[in-house]
């Protein structure tokens, strides 16, 4: 089921939680809403699910305006950030709640529920009440309960935040596999950028109630449009200054840039696009061995950048290091020259 959100704004009193959000999700796509805490991610999901009436704008599903459709009549299922499990029902009954409400034939409910409980590793807890489960287990029940209704759109509100790293990887893969198998459209909220990059067809980066940038993970990562995006997704190195004749002067030396001359611009590059040896230079202030690669913090003047080099290299603090960048890997950002940290 396709989803279109057009100029949606939400106000709580005088506070604008969403200013003017636009996003389009194709049928069967997996998109993530990424953004810092309080930027309006849950609010947007509540608008899509119908719990919250937007102050302005329209929401369409498969081309139909559903602004006046009640939540129970929308073909969405939400996996709540706070789980919101039914405390009086066992795990199995929680998962079966939706299908029963939708009058799915009894034996199909039994099958569907058992399969989901298996997939989520909850089969041995099936008869327990929610308050007898750990946070991570409850989170998986919430997930199974949302998936059990086989909705057109599944809204995930940070569904893996309470799982340990190993389980998170596993459930993440399960969700993605299930989504491909069943074909539902997924809107997935997270503030974990690695998760967003790993899972999505498209990432929508929200900031202060607007979509700051959207695009495929690679595009967002390698071609950030603003310093906020560059900074929020991965570790970016930013420089502010004047661009003249295809270069920007930095404390490390002249940085080659593909961009028109300008007085005040921010440019950014990723730690891993660097190569050792070149016309930029600085002193190592810290290094961290990460196995496959080595993280180096290199300073010159009052600036520090982060480099990622193959793990076979060794550096000590204080060593001078020279490095270089391809100008096409240096991105000129749209915003004026200020770095907002």
Give residues in contact with another protein (CB under 8 A).
49, 51, 70-72, 76-78, 80, 82, 84-89, 92-93, 96-98, 100-102, 106, 109-110, 113, 145-146, 149
- 196-214 burial, b at 16+ Cβ within 10 Å, e below that, comes to bbebbebbbbbbebbbbbb
Nearer to Mg ion, 42 or 227 (CB): 42
The closest of 184, 199, 180, 188 to 153, measured between CA atoms, is: 184
**Conformation bin of residue 226: beta by default, left when phi > 0, alpha when psi is -120 to 50:** beta
- Residue 15 contact partner, candidates another protein, ligand ATP, Mg ion, none, CB within 5 to 8 A by sort of partner: ligand ATP
Nearer to another protein, 50 or 241 (CB): 50
- Least Å distance, CB 298 to ligand ATP, is 33
Q: How far is the CB of 295 from ligand ATP (least distance, A)?
A: 27
Least CB distance to another protein at residue 190 (A): 19
Task: Tell me the CA distances in angstroms from 16 to 19, 21, 55, 190, 295, one per residue in order.
Answer: 6, 12, 10, 21, 40
Q: Which H/E stretch holds residue 78?
A: strand 76-79
Return d(Cα 160, Cα 316) in angstroms, integer.
Answer: 38
Pick what 40 binds: another protein, ligand ATP, Mg ion, none; C-beta below 5 to 8 Å, kind-dependent.
Answer: ligand ATP
Provide the total of helices (H) and of strands (E) in the chain, helices listed first.
Answer: 8, 19
Site for Mg ion in 56-95 (CB under 5 A): 81
What CA–CA distance (Å, rounded) separates 56 from 11?
9
- Measured from the CB atom, the residue of 14 and 312 that comes closer to ligand ATP is 14
| Residue 191 interface partner, choices another protein, Mg ion, ligand ATP, none, CB cut-off 5-8 Å depending on type | ligand ATP
Q: Which is nearer to ligand ATP, 12 or 86 (CB)?
A: 12
Tokens of 277: 């040896």
Residue 97 binds which entry of ligand ATP, Mg ion, another protein, none, with Cβ cut-offs from 5 to 8 Å by kind?
another protein
3-class DSSP assignment, residue 332:
strand
Question: How far is 244 from 128, CA to CA, in rounded Å?
Answer: 68
Q: In the complex, which residues of this chain contact ligand ATP (CB under 6 A)?
A: 12, 15, 17, 35, 37-43, 81, 191
Question: 96 vs 171, which CB is nearer to another protein?
Answer: 96
Return d(Cα 16, Cα 188) in angstroms, integer: 22
Name which of 81 and 227 has its Cβ closer to Mg ion: 81
β-pairing, 275-289 with 262-269?
unpaired
Q: Closer to Mg ion at the Cβ: 100 or 208?
A: 208
217 makes contact, choosing from Mg ion, ligand ATP, another protein, none, with CB < 5 to 8 Å by partner type, with: none
Rounded to 5°, the CA angle 18-21-24 comes to 145
Nearer to another protein, 153 or 206 (CB): 153
Q: Which of residues 33-62 bind Mg ion (CB under 5 A)?
A: 42
* Contact status, residue 18 vs residue 47, Cβ threshold 8 Å: yes
Residue 39 interacting entry, from Mg ion, another protein, ligand ATP, none, C-beta within 5 to 8 Å by type: ligand ATP
For the bound state, the minimum distance from the C-beta of residue 210 to Mg ion, rounded and expressed in Å, comes to 17
> Interface with Mg ion by CB under 5 A: which residues?
42, 81
């Amino acid at each position: 089921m396709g989803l279109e959100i057009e100029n949606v704004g939400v106000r709580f009193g005088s506070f604008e939680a969403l200013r003017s959000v636009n996003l389009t999700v194709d049928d069967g796509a997996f998109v993530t809403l990424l953004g810092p805490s309080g930027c309006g991610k849950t609010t947007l999901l509540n608008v899509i699910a119908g719990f919250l009436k937007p102050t302005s704008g329209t929401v369409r599903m498969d081309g139909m305006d559903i602004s006046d459709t009640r939540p129970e009549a929308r073909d969405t299922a939400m996996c709540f950030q706070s789980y919101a499990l039914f405390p009086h029902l066992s795990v199995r009954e929680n998962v079966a709640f939706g299908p029963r409400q939708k009058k799915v034939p009894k034996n199909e409910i039994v099958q569907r529920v058992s399969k989901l409980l298996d997939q989520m590793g909850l089969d041995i807890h099936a008869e327990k009440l929610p308050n007898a489960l750990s946070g991570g287990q409850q989170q998986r029940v919430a997930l199974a309960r949302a998936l059990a209704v086989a909705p057109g759109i599944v809204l995930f509100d940070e569904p893996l935040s309470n799982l340990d790293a190993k389980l998170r990887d596993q459930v993440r893969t399960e969700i993605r596999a299930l989504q491909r198998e069943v074909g539902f459209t997924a809107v997935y909220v997270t503030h974990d950028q690695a998760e967003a990059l790993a899972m999505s067809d498209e990432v929508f980066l929200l900031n202060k109630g607007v979509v700051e940038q959207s695009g495929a993970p690679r595009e967002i990562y390698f071609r950030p449009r603003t310093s906020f995006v560059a900074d929020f997704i991965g570790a970016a190195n930013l420089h502010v200054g004047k661009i003249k004749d295809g270069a920007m002067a930095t404390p490390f030396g002249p940085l080659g840039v593909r961009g028109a001359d300008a007085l005040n611009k921010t440019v950014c590059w990723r730690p891993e696009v660097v190569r050792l040896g070149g016309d930029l230079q600085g002193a190592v202030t810290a290094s961290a061995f990460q196995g496959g690669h080595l993280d180096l913090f290199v300073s010159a003047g009052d600036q520090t950048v982060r480099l990622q080099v193959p793990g076979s290299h060794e550096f000590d603090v204080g060593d001078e290091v020279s490095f270089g960048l391809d100008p096409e890997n240096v991105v000129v950002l749209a915003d004026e020259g200020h770095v907002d940290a």
